[in-house]
Amino acid sequence: MSKIQTTFLRLKSENKKALIPFITAGDPHPDMTVKMLHALVESGADMIEVGIPFSDPMADGPVIQRASERALANNVGIKKTIQLVNEFRKKDTKTPIILMGYANPIEAIGIEHFVDLIRDADVDGVITVDYPPEESKDFVALLKKHEIDSIFLLSPTTEDNRISLIVEQATGFLYYVSLKGVTGSANIDINQVTKRVKNIKKYSDLPVAVGFGVKDAETAKQVALISDAVVIGSRIINEVENSNQEDLLENIRNLMSEMKRNIS
């Protein structure tokens, strides 16, 4: 059983919801990434999504695009991202790490090589934004072989027949994109999300995480009531952009603690 699955089981038995922050590896600086990961765990993260920087992040809004640009300016790409996870693993072997990125960097280094590297770094799951199930069968099979979870996105436009297709391939959890749009865009419609999550649950016993528009603690609270996990992305990158380097870790801790209080 993967660390993602055991984490969800434990939280369920405690009647708690998972808090899943997102940061882009190498942003604002590669020296900060591992410290930020530890700070996130200390302040309440149950698992962490680590973004692999990409030059053309089509599904991301301006905030996460800028994070990618800063990381690339620091020469952090896919290999360095995995190295940073390796660094983090020296002190933390428990917290699940999920890599989130786009297909091209993965294919550029080769899917077999990528899976070897992330298995060695003890990565627990992968989200590939532009790999729908139809185009990623080989990749998913390879991840499965190494017991790494394949996490798929479901969107407000995903119809029921596709939900069944996706849940067949998905492991770990399902990621519901709470709005039509890019990361960090407009506010979410909680009633709509509630309906959608309920519908997804009809097709799968996998936990459902909700992300893409959770901007404040109040939204996080509402989302936690109707799902199994809350993903916070652009809101954390806002802290990265607006903090002095010496305050960054503290600001992230404060934000996470507030989110954690609201979803527990």
Partner 1 sequence: MQAYDLPDAFGHFGQFGGTFVAETLVEALDELRDMYDKFKDDPDFLSEFHHDLKHFVGRPSPIYFAERLTNQIGGAKIFLKREDLNHTGAHKVNNTVGQALLAKKMGKPRVIAETGAGQHGVATATIAARLGLDCVVYMGSEDIKRQSPNVYRMKLLGAKVVPVESGSKTLKDALNEALRDWVTNVSDTFYIIGTVAGPHPYPMMVRDFNSVVGKECKTQMPDLAGSQPDAILACVGGGSNAMGIFYPYIDDKNVRLIGVEAAGEGVETGRHAAPLTSNSPIGVLHGNRTYLMQNEEGQIIDTHSVSAGLDYPGVGPEHAWLKDSGRAEYVAVTDDDALKAFHNLCLIEGIIPALETSHALAYAEKLAATMAKDKIILVNLSGRGDKDINTVAGLAGLTL
Instruction: For partner 1, give the closer residue by CB, 105 or 233.
Output: 105
C-beta of residue 71 within 8 angstroms of C-beta of residue 20: no
Tell the smallest beta-carbon distance from residue 110 to partner 1 (Å). Answer: 10
Query: Which residue type occupies 117?
Result: L
Pick between residue 110 and residue 242 the one whose CB is nearest to partner 1.
110
Catalytic residue among 14, 31, 46, 60: 60
Report in angstroms how near the CB of residue 36 gets to partner 1 at its nearest.
22
For residue 160, indicate whether it is catalytic. Answer: no
Alpha-carbon span 39 to 20, nearest angstrom: 13
Mark whether 87 is an active-site residue: no
Which residues form the interface with partner 1 (CB under 8 A)? 53-59, 61-62, 65, 69, 72, 77-79, 102-109, 129-132, 134-135, 152-159, 162, 166, 177, 180-182, 185
Q: C-alpha angle 51/57/58, rounded to 5°?
A: 135
- Nearest distance from C-beta of residue 11 to partner 1, angstroms: 25
258 close to 220: Cβ distance less than 8 angstroms: no
Query: Token pair 């693993």 is at which residue?
Result: 89
Q: Which among 27, 46, 49, 124 is annotated as catalytic?
A: 49
22 CB contacts (<8 Å, ≥6 apart)? 48, 49, 50, 51, 100, 211, 231, 232, 233, 236, 237
* 9 versus 108: smaller Cβ distance to partner 1: 108
Quote the least distance from Cβ 82 to partner 1, whole Å. Answer: 11
Residues 6+ apart with CB under 8 A from 17: 11, 224, 227, 228, 229, 230, 263, 264
Please identify, using beta-carbon distances, which residue of 181 and 243 lies nearer to partner 1: 181
Residues labelled catalytic: 49, 60
